[in-house]
Amino acid sequence: MEIYFLGTNAGVPTLQRNVTSVALRLLEERRSFWMFDCGEGTQHQVLRSPLRLGKLEKLFITHLHGDHLFGLPGLLSSRGYQGGTGPLTVYGPPGLKAYLDISLSVSQSRIPYPLEVVEHSGGLIFEDDGFKVEAGLLEHRIDSYGYRVTEKDSPGNLNKELLLSYGLKPGPLYGLLKKGQDVTTEEGVLIRAAEVVNAPKRGRIVTVLGDTRPCQGTLPLAWDADLIIHEATFGHDLEGMAHQYHHSTARQAAELARDAGGRELLLTHFSSRYTTHEELLPLLAEAREIFPQTLLAEEFCTFPVYRRTPGNVPGK
């Protein structure tokens, strides 16, 4: 599980950074990737990345402002020309379907794959055997949602040394034990799954927050998350402007990560007033004063989502 940024700017693109889009790579877990937001030019960013649109399985829109949305019709159209034949589901606030219906019909765009648009107003919006995705309303000029992606716990590994001491060699009974079923060997020895299966592996949690100023809705989404992606449109010297425009400062993002007990924080959605990486370093510094495990998002960079294990302290 990895995060890959395709756009980290707020409002408008610059020569250095594109507008918002982030990919959650699930190549080992699902052989696919998910995308959060799709600002103008995202498909061009994909062409410069290791991602392939044919592997895009789900796309989540946080809100219907153009810097998070204007790249969507073009990307959906191009997906079919880049090997995308499998189903694609797009999730977002009410109004998303009308936007896509008009854009694709007026442009006579042909979508040669199953496309489903799911409008939601928060809550549990997706769940299967491996993952669930929850959405929560934030505080912005229009309805804006954050997403909490939870990887479900996976069964622990078998204690193979102990099994061999029972005389049980690898085979079908191993599979039953891993599923939690007790088994009996040919010699009549009862082996209890609870005694030979290690503790389950904790699933990872990734929180992707859309545009928001500090509000109560962020905490449940970010609670105990392994990775929190939070907007940091301004430095804290512009806190008044951030509040006026319904955005957050880097320090406010760090306060949320600290209060939520998160493991790591990635700052993104930077104002175009910060034109260089060096100009973003003060935002990083102010965030790290409160939450040391903070990084700046960088386009075309991969950020692994580490699994928290016993003794694995956040930031270590």
Is there a single domain that holds both residue 220 and residue 189?
no
Gap between the Cα atoms of 241 and 34, Å rounded: 32
- Same domain? For 191 and 214 the reply is no
Strand partners, 145: 137
Tokens coding 196: 């030979």
Q: Give dist(CA 39, CA 9) in Å, integer.
A: 10
Is residue 51 within 8 A of residue 32, CB to CB? The reply is no
List all residues 6 or more positions away from 102 whose beta carbon is below 8 Å from its beta carbon. none
Q: Which of 242, 241, 263 is nearest to 252 (CA)?
A: 242
Number of domains in the chain: 2
67 catalytically annotated: yes
- For residue 124, the Cα-to-chain-centroid distance in whole angstroms is 15
Q: Identify residue 259 by its one-letter amino acid code.
A: D
Q: Which two tokens stand for residue 56?
A: 């895009």
CB–CB of 98/50 below 8 Å?
no
Among residues 156, 134, 148, 128, the alpha carbon closest in space to that of 29 is found at 128
**Residues at the annotated binding site for Zn(2+)?**
63, 65, 67-68, 140, 211, 269
Residue 70 structural domain: 2-152+204-304
Do 293 and 228 touch, CB atoms closer than 8 A? no
Helix 96-106 and helix 72-79, axial crossing angle in degrees, nearest 10: 60
Same domain for 19 and 95, yes or no, is: yes
Q: At what angle do helices 250-260 and 277-288 cross, to 10 degrees?
A: 40
CB-based contact 298:37 (threshold 8 Å): no
Which of these, 225, 218, 190, lies nearest to 314 by C-alpha position? Answer: 225
Q: Can you tell me the distance from the alpha carbon of 14 to that of 206, in angstroms, rounded to the nearest whole number?
A: 27
Q: What is the dihedral of CA 277, 278, 279, 284, to 10 degrees?
A: 80
User: In 10 A of CB 146, how many CB atoms?
Assistant: 28
Asked, for residue 256, whether it belongs to a domain, the answer is: yes
**Per-position b or e across 216-237, b if 16+ CB within 10 A of its CB:** ebbeebbeebbbbbbbbbbbbe
Are 33 and 169 found together in one domain?
no
Residue 115 shares a structural domain with residue 191:
no
Identify whether 311 is part of a domain: no
Instruction: Kindly state whether residue 310 falls inside one of the protein's structural domains.
Output: no
Can you give the three-state secondary structure of 26-46, one letter per residue?
ECCCCCEEEEECCCCCHHHHH
What CATH number is given to the structural domain containing 227?
Answer: 3.60.15.10
The H or E element containing residue 115 is strand 115-119
Domain boundary among 142, 174, 196: 196
- Predicted pLDDT at 82: 85
- Residue-by-residue pLDDT tens, the chain, 316 positions: 999 999 999 999 999 999 999 999 999 999 999 999 999 999 999 999 999 999 999 999 999 999 999 999 999 999 988 888 999 999 999 999 999 999 999 999 999 999 999 999 999 999 999 999 999 999 999 999 999 999 999 878 888 888 888 888 888 888 888 888 898 888 888 988 888 888 888 999 999 999 999 999 999 999 999 999 999 999 999 999 999 999 999 999 999 999 999 999 999 999 999 999 999 999 999 999 999 999 999 999 999 999 876 444 443 3
In a domain, 43, yes or no: yes
User: Is 194 in contact with 178 (CB distance < 8 Å)?
Assistant: no
The C-alpha torsion from 77 through 80 and 86 to 90, rounded to 10°, is -10
* Residues of each annotated binding site: 63, 65, 67-68, 140, 211, 269
Would the pTM of this model clear 0.75, i.e. be above it?
yes
Does residue 315 sit within a domain?
no
In this predicted structure, what is the pLDDT of residue 171?
A: 86
What pLDDT does 311 receive? 43
Q: Are strands 21-26 and 32-36 parallel, antiparallel or unpaired?
A: antiparallel
Return the pLDDT at 204.
97
Catalytic residue among 67, 129, 224, 237: 67
The answer to whether residues 80 and 215 belong to one domain is yes
